Amino acid sequence: MSLPDRVQKIVKDFLEDLGDNVAEERVIDYVVKELKGNRRLKSIIEDPYVKNRLNDEQIKHLIENPQIIETVDNELKKAFKSKKFDFF
């Protein structure tokens, strides 16, 4: 198996595991909801709700989740439009 094929398999397996893990999905939903409520990502990640459900490795992967990245991006765009940066 070539390196790109192995990388693709690892990424695919990771994404499938993430999608299958109900606790992680709930945490992702929670993080997105809190981000939209203008909480800081750092504060959310340190929240007991997150810490009690995910280990440090899962939290590292959590912040790379496309849904969370998209939410952060959207919140940044809103902040720049309104010139209100109170969630940072």
Q: Is residue 44 part of a domain?
A: yes
Q: Is the pTM of this model over 0.85?
A: no
Q: Model confidence over 60-83: pLDDT tens digits? A: 988 899 999 999 999 889 888 988
- Residue 33 confidence (pLDDT): 95
Task: Establish if 86 belongs to a structural domain.
Answer: no
Residues 6+ apart with CB under 8 A from 35: 41, 44, 68, 71, 72, 75
Question: What span, in angstroms and rounded, lies between the C-alpha atoms of 53 and 51?
Answer: 6
pLDDT tens digits, one per residue of 20-73: 577 888 999 999 999 999 899 999 999 999 999 888 988 998 889 999 999 999
Q: Residue 26 falls within a domain, yes or no? A: yes
Is 9 a domain residue?
A: no
Is 43 inside a domain boundary?
yes
Number of domains comprising the chain: 1
Q: Domain range holding 58?
A: 15-80
